Each structure stands twice: as C-alpha cells, then as structure tokens.
Amino acid sequence: MLRRIFILISFVSLVGTAHANDVYIYELLKEPGYAQTWKRLLKSERKVPGWLSDENRFVANPEKKQSVGSTQYSISVVAKQHATNEGVAAILFTEDGQKAWAKIVEEGRKPRYLGAPSIEQIDLLDKALDE
C-alpha cells in the first residue's frame, strides 16, 4: 500500500512539473522583443479584432515548438474569451521573437493571414488551428 502511494505521489509530481514548464503567449509578450514584434504586426494590418489585440480578452493554449528547415518557430493558439466558437487565431513567432505571423478565423468572416506568411508558415498556422 505504501509503495502504491509513493508511486502515485511520484506520478502526480511528474505531471505537475510538465505543466509547470508550459509557456503561454502571455509570458512571451512580456519579453520586449516579442511584444514589439506583436505590436508591429497588429499595427500593420487593418481591422484586427479587438479581442486579439488585448491579451486580457483571449484565452490561450501552451505554445508549441515547430521547425521548418533550420528555422524554429513558436506557435500559440488563442481564442476569444467567453466566446471561443466566435474567434480563434494561431500566432507564429520566430524563436528569437523578431518576426511574427498570424491566422485569424472569426465566425461569419473569411479566414485571414497577418504578416504575409510563406507557404510553409501558412501550413504551420493551418495545422495549429486544425488540432
């Protein structure tokens, strides 16, 4: 019995540690490079949804790392807070936070890409939203 309790405690500790290492876009946007890149991307586009430009108005999944060739990316999926079926977006940053792209999908509107992503980047954004 004591052995089972020890195994259970060890398992719970491992699960807790895995989630503690998750990184969310909120944390990335606290870093100056990421924050400046994100603001620049949003300002370069017309009619960006208000919920996307205000991190207090969306919820996010932990970032995922993906590579295309030798370039490493960070991908975050966010959704409009309290209305996740009305708006979602995938956000793609280079690992250094110097470049960003996004795909926005809102109910009743055509999906759109921000930042003129390449075909490979479009594929990453599309796949992130399909998961």
User: What string of pLDDT tens digits covers the 131 residues of the chain?
Assistant: 333 333 333 334 444 444 568 889 989 999 999 999 999 999 998 889 988 988 778 889 999 999 888 999 999 999 988 766 789 999 999 999 999 999 999 989 999 999 999 999 999 999 999 98
Query: What distance in Å separates the CA atoms of residue 9 and residue 7, rounded to the nearest whole number?
Result: 5
The reported pLDDT for the residue numbered 84 is 64
What global pTM score does this model have?
A: 0.81
DSSP β-ladder status, 87-94 and 58-60: unpaired
CA distance 119 to 70: 16
Domains present along the chain, CATH in parentheses: 24-130 (3.40.1420.10)
Give yes or no for a contact between 130 and 75, defined as CB atoms under 8 angstroms apart: no
- Tell me what pLDDT residue 120 has: 95
- Taken as a whole, the chain contains a residue count of 131
